[in-house]
């Protein structure tokens, strides 16, 4: 554990324009789809972060050729697709703590077959993958657990797809269904493949991102509501030529909330009203709390006018961005409740427990349940030292507690291990400082 920290001065007003880094969810999906497709793909504005570095390194180990080109306006990654046939039949892959990388890659390698090992940091070995592996193995793949059953590390061998239907639980992580959808065309060689979802499907907007991108790469997916998905045989991913990565809507949440809490206006560029990311719905939650939101094709702007209103709502559709609402609740006129967020418990850390612990440090009264958190704001926020649990979103969320200096002049907020933001937004604290001058 790093003992480094950053001290944030309290500020009473924020405003400015922020150009967002690329979306993590979109970046890692596009990387894998590009690798599996036929032809050359040029990816514009790929996120540069720990999680994408992990995916790029894994693809290189598998024999996928890619290069990075720096241009005046940003970066372009050129990927040469392998049309579903990986050059390297064996590899040892380190996946860090990147759920968006290990889950789809596990599915792809299991279906393609070979001799592959996948492992990550200790926390990755506590994040469930059993529902995905069970679904794959029931279909004929050969994936073994080399540590705790149900969790990485994994050893993948050669299998043979023998089924036409797979089923997967929808209520643990939407990444399991995403992984199966992305490899369905590889499975549907001779006949159609149908994936059935058991139980309620959580985080549906993330499945919408997946389906949108699969279709951009030329594969049709038939949908029966959220109950089942079918891919007809003989479809191969085709390069879309050039593809742009949208700005990260989850990262946008911190700056939009800052505008709502600290006056604003704060404008984020890179996402807008036509975004394929569900997390842009975060703006609607801020609006419910009394913030003024305006949107363009490629930007969203937030401003605040005084105290925010308390909120009681279901946040199943935006689990990552909802963490920022728990912080905005500190500035509300009464207790706020965030419901249906059980998936927080299996993320980079147990986010319900972590959020409750750290919110109490700054004076909030917090009630936590299996799938909800209730935050009663303090009369005045107390300066504190915040632990981040090697979780990028904890660090970014709690930067916002430095806003509204009136209540506690001169007191610093200390954030431990700020470098954990490297997972999705290495430059976060510098960018935040720009609007908090």
- As annotated, the active-site residues are 320
What φ, ψ does residue 417 adopt, rounded to 5°? 50, 55
CA 10/CA 408 separation, integer angstroms = 8
CA 253/CA 323 separation, integer angstroms = 9
* 299 sits in which H/E element: strand 299-303
What is the Cα 358 distance to its own chain's centre?
22
360 CB-side CA count, 13 A: 9
The three-class DSSP label of residue 276 is coil
Report whether 123 contacts 152 (CB < 8 A): no
What is the Cα 356 distance to its own chain's centre?
21
Scan for tokens 């070979």, then name that residue: 114
CA 50/CA 30 separation, integer angstroms = 16
- The counts of H helices and E strands in the chain are 12, 23
The three-class DSSP label of residue 214 is helix
Scan for tokens 């592959």, then name that residue: 116
Structure tokens at 70: 């720096």
CA 283/CA 302 separation, integer angstroms = 8
The three-class DSSP label of residue 86 is coil
Report whether 178 contacts 104 (CB < 8 A): yes
What φ, ψ does residue 427 adopt, rounded to 5°? -95, 15
* 156 sits in which H/E element: strand 154-157
What φ, ψ does residue 270 adopt, rounded to 5°? 125, -20
The three-class DSSP label of residue 334 is coil
Structure tokens at 348: 């980079």
């Amino acid at each position: 554990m790093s003992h480094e920290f950053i001290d944030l001065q309290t500020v009473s007003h924020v405003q400015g324009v922020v150009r967002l880094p690329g979306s993590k969810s979109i970046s890692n999906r596009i990387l894998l789809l590009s690798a599996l497709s036929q032809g050359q793909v040029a990816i514009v504005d790929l996120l540069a972060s720990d999680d994408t570095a992990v995916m790029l390194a894994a693809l290189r180990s598998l024999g996928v050729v890619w290069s990075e080109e720096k241009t005046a306006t940003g970066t372009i990654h050129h990927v040469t697709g392998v049309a579903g046939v990986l050059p390297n039949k064996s590899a040892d892959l380190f996946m860090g703590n990147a759920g968006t990388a290990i889950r789809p890659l596990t599915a792809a390698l299991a279906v393609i077959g070979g001799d592959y090992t996948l492992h990550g940091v200790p926390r990755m070995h506590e994040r469930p993958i059993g529902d995905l592996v069970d679904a794959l193995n029931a279909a004929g793949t050969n994936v073994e657990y080399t540590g705790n059953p149900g969790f990485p590390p994994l050893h993948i061998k050669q299998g043979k797809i023998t089924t036409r239907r797979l089923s997967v639980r929808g209520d643990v992580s939407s990444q399991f269904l995403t992984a199966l959808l992305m490899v369905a065309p590889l499975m549907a060689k001779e006949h159609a493949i149908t994936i059935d979802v058991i139980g309620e499907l959580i985080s549906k907007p993330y499945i919408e991102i997946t389906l949108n991108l699969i279709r951009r790469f030329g594969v049709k997916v038939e949908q029966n509501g959220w109950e089942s998905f079918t891919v007809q045989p003989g479809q191969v991913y085709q390069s879309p030529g050039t593809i742009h990565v949208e700005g990260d809507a989850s990262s946008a949440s911190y700056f939009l909330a800052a505008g709502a809490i600290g006056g604003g206006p704060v404008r984020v560029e890179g996402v807008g009203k036509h975004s394929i990311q569900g997390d842009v719905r975060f703006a609607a939650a801020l609006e419910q709390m009394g913030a003024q939101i305006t949107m363009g094709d490629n930007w969203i702007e937030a401003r605040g006018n005084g105290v925010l209103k308390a909120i009681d709502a279901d946040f199943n559709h935006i689990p990552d961005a909802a963490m920022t609402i728990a912080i905005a609740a500190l500035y509300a006129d009464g207790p706020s409740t965030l419901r249906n967020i059980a998936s927080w418990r299996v993320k980079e850390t147990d986010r319900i427990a972590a959020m409750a612990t750290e919110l109490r440090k700054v004076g909030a009264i917090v009630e936590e349940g299996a799938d909800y958190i209730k935050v009663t704001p303090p009369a005045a926020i107390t300066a504190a030292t915040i632990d981040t649990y090697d979780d990028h979103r904890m660090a970014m969320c709690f930067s916002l507690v430095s806003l509204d200096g009136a209540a506690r002049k001169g007191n610093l907020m200390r954030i431990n291990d700020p470098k954990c933001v490297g997972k999705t937004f290495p430059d976060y604290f510098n960018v935040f400082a720009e609007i908090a001058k």
